[in-house]
């Protein structure tokens, strides 16, 4: 067995935020850690979500022993329906994580095919040559685990997302003891979250948000509208406890908020006192000073509950002067414009808006800062180190942080990007061959959902330069055009029938037709291509624009 290699194969999430997916291979056995998604950049027009390209797993489907999940955030579980639609493999995760996965699978009508297996911290799982122990860690979502994966060559620790919270609101402490035990016995490789490596010191405890929220409950005389990530069960519990303490009823708005709180309540992870919940349709009948409304949509998503409330387009809630709206979440980079636009709409309605950094804070991160990352490195003391979950600059900084420790040198730390592999054998560790990775764009409104690169390129082209449609009527008996061609334009420069450019463009089409042989005119495919080429050259020379040109030939 010693001649077999251990391979670390990141399929997403390294060098980018989101799409976290890592394959670990020993010989002919593969396990997969997480299968996430990311939200699209502005340039991916019309795309709803982006998932990793699972080609490598498809090509090796007979070797994949299972999918192991660290926690239930979308950037770790959002790609699962798309992976399971391509191949059937067992899935392992905590009860809360799997309940969130099940909702996703229901939406894609895949729940019957999925084999979901519940685990809990402390459990050990055997998959081929891999033995996996689940270790409880603290994060901004409940039921998170790190993974200790014992392989024939040594132990791999995968932290998942984490922060070391010394005072978690549910009193479930980060299991540093088990990490330290593995460190004492010897760890071959550490894969550790890099998200907050830029932040010095320690990330504040979830409890730090309590005083600020309590102050808002005390000071707010009218409605208190609070928005946070629906997966932040600890934060929701704090809000519900404060609402009960201050005699306010609680209403949930937003599909994701209702779904997640229902799951958490069913699993005993969220305590909702009897009589405190209010139906959304009763909000406007309730005395404003007796209300706390918890709304999803912190990132300004166009159709989210909070975005609709902000423009007074929600059937259950209207913001009125004197109300207070609280964004208890971070602004995810790239979402700034949408969020500030939403805040402006709320402010126009006379409400106070509380957001951003303040002391005490209204939001704390779920990721460990530099000192927590250093603590984990010191406890685990790995032989090799690969930073994960972050952009390249963050992973590079995390690698340098590791190299400052006495036992890790430059040759022991590897900054990988998605598709780059790490090979470990008896002789040591080195970068291996690259594997196929990429992004798969999903447009949930389209029939086959997957959006090809060509479609996105066309959308980008249309958004920048618009299109021209020359319509040519041809006599089917003579093959000659019937009158001047018509030209329809959208998103290009404003053209009317009498404009000089329009007249010249029509003449270009006429000349192309006249200069073509009878044989060419009889082949419409050839004629469309000739018209497109000549018109493209003419428009480019006249306007420096490149509209999409789609000739239409009608037989009359």
User: Which of 106-110, 290-294, 322-326, 490-494 bottoms out in mean pLDDT, i.e. has the lowest?
Assistant: 490-494
pLDDT class for 41, splitting at 50, 70, 90? low
Say if domain 6-201+365-442 classifies as CATH 3.60.15.10.
yes
Cβ contacts of 16 within 8 Å, gap of 6 or more: 38, 391, 418
pLDDT mean over 324-352: 90
pLDDT reported for residue 17: 85
User: Which of 130-139, 192-201, 432-441 bottoms out in mean pLDDT, i.e. has the lowest?
Assistant: 432-441
Q: What fold characterizes domain 466-555?
A: Ubiquitin-like (UB roll) (3.10.20)
Three-state helix/strand/coil letters over 94-158:
CHHHHHHHHHHHHHCCCCCCCEEEECCCCCEEEECCEEEEEEEEECCCCCEEEEEEEECCEEEEE
Measured distance CA(34)–CA(134) in Å, rounded: 14
pTM of the complete model beyond 0.85: no
Task: Report which of residues 32 and 85 the model is more confident about.
Answer: 32
pLDDT mean over 436-443: 79
Q: What fold characterizes domain 206-354?
A: Rossmann fold (3.40.50)
Please give the structure tokens belonging to residue 217.
């409950």
Instruction: Please classify residue 200 by burial: count the beta carbons closer than 10 Å to its beta carbon, then call 0-12 exposed, 13-18 middle and 19+ buried.
Output: exposed
Measured distance CA(509)–CA(18) in Å, rounded: 49
Catalytic residues: 193, 367
User: Which of 256-260, 377-381, 456-460 bottoms out in mean pLDDT, i.e. has the lowest?
Assistant: 456-460
Please give the structure tokens belonging to residue 454.
């060509």
Cβ contacts of 352 within 8 Å, gap of 6 or more: 322, 323, 324, 325
Question: Per residue in 388-411, pLDDT tens?
Answer: 998 999 999 999 999 887 677 778
Domain ranges of the chain: 6-201+365-442, 206-354, 466-555
pLDDT reported for residue 496: 61
pLDDT reported for residue 445: 46
- Name the packing angle between helices 370-380 and 392-403 (round to 10°): 50
pLDDT reported for residue 474: 79
Question: Per residue in 43-84, pLDDT tens?
Answer: 555 567 788 999 999 999 999 999 999 999 999 999 999 999
Strand order in the sheet with 291-295: 249-253, 291-295, 224-227, 324-327, 352-354
Listing DSSP states for 512-548 in one string gives HHHTS-HHHHT-HHHHHHHHHHHHHHHHHHHHS---E
User: Which of 186-190, 225-229, 466-470 bottoms out in mean pLDDT, i.e. has the lowest?
Assistant: 466-470
Phi, psi dihedrals of residue 388, rounded to the nearest 5°: -130, 175
pLDDT mean over 523-549: 83
Q: How many helices (H) and strands (E) does the chain have?
A: 16, 26
Task: Report which of residues 468 and 262 the model is more confident about.
Answer: 262
Measured distance CA(241)–CA(292) in Å, rounded: 11
Measured distance CA(297)–CA(257) in Å, rounded: 9
User: Which of 137-151, 375-389, 430-444, 448-462 bottoms out in mean pLDDT, i.e. has the lowest?
Assistant: 448-462
User: Which of 74-83, 120-129, 326-335, 436-445 bottoms out in mean pLDDT, i.e. has the lowest?
Assistant: 436-445
Strand partners, 298: none
Listing DSSP states for 277-314 in one string gives B--GGGGGGS-GGGEEEEE--TT--TTSHHHHHHTT--
Please give the structure tokens belonging to residue 108.
């894609």
Listing DSSP states for 3-15 in one string gives TSPEEEEEEESBS
pLDDT reported for residue 416: 96
pLDDT tops 50 at residue 446: no
Greatest Cα pair distance, the chain, in angstroms, is: 90
pLDDT reported for residue 461: 64
Measured distance CA(51)–CA(39) in Å, rounded: 9
Tell me the HSE value of 462 on the side-chain side, using a 13 A CA sphere: 14
Tell me the HSE value of 147 on the side-chain side, using a 13 A CA sphere: 30
Tell me the HSE value of 44 on the side-chain side, using a 13 A CA sphere: 18
């Amino acid at each position: 067995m010693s001649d077999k290699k251990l391979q670390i194969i990141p399929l997403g999430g390294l060098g980018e935020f989101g799409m976290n997916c890592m394959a670990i291979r020993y010989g002919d056995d593969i396990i997969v850690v997480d299968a996430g998604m990311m939200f699209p950049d502005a340039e991916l027009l019309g795309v709803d979500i982006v998932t990793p390209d699972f080609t490598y797993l498809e090509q090796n489907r007979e070797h994949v022993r299972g999918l192991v999940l660290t926690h239930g955030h979308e950037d770790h579980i959002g790609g699962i329906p798309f992976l399971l639609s391509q191949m059937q493999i067992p899935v392992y995760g905590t009860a809360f994580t799997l309940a969130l996965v099940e909702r996703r699978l229901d939406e894609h009508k895949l729940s019957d095919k999925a084999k979901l297996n519940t685990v809990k911290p402390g459990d050990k799982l055997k998959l081929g040559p891999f033995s996996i122990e689940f270790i409880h860690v603290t994060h901004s979502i409940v039921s998170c685990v790190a993974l200790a994966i014992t392989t024939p060559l040594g132990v791999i620790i995968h932290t998942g997302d984490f922060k070391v919270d010394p005072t978690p609101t549910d009193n479930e402490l980060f299991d540093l003891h088990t990490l330290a035990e593995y460190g004492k016995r010897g760890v071959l490789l550490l894969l550790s979250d890099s998200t907050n490596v830029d932040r010095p010191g320690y990330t504040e405890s979830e409890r730090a948000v309590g005083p600020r929220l309590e102050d808002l409950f005390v000071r707010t005389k009218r409605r208190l509208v609070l928005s946070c990530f629906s997966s932040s069960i600890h934060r929701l519990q704090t809000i519900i406890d404060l609402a009960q303490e201050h005699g306010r009823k609680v209403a949930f708005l937003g599909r994701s908020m209702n779904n997640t709180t229902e799951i958490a309540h069913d699993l005993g992870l969220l305590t909702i006192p009897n009589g405190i919940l209010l139906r959304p349709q009763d909000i406007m009948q309730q005395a404003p000073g007796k209300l706390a409304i918890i709304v999803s949509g912190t990132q300004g998503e166009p159709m989210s509950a909070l975005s609709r409330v902000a423009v007074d387009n929600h059937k259950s809630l209207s913001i009125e002067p004197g109300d207070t709206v609280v964004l208890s979440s971070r602004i995810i980079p790239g979402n700034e414009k949408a969020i500030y636009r939403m805040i402006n709409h709320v402010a126009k309605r006379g409400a106070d808006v509380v957001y951003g950094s303040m002391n005490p804070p209204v939001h704390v991160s779920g990721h460990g800062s530099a000192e927590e990352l250093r603590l984990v490195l010191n406890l685990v003391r790995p032989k090799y180190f690969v930073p994960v979950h972050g952009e390249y600059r963050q992973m590079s900084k995390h690698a340098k942080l590791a190299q400052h420790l006495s036992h890790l040198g430059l040759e022991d730390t590897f900054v990988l990007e998605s598709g780059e592999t790490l090979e470990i054998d008896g002789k040591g560790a080195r970068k291996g061959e690259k594997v196929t990775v990429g992004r798969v764009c999903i447009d949930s409104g389209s029939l086959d959902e997957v959006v090809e690169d060509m479609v996105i390129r066309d959308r980008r082209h249309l958004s920048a330069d618009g299109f021209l449609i020359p319509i040519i009527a041809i006599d089917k008996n003579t093959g000659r055009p019937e009158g001047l061609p018509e030209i329809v334009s959208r998103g290009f420069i404003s053209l009317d029938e009498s404009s000089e450019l329009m007249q010249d463009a029509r003449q270009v089409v006429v000349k192309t037709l006249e200069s073509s042989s009878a044989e060419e005119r009889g082949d419409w495919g050839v004629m469309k291509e000739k018209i497109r080429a000549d018109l493209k050259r003419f428009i480019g020379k006249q306007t420096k624009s490149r509209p999409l040109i789609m000739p239409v030939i009608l037989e009359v």
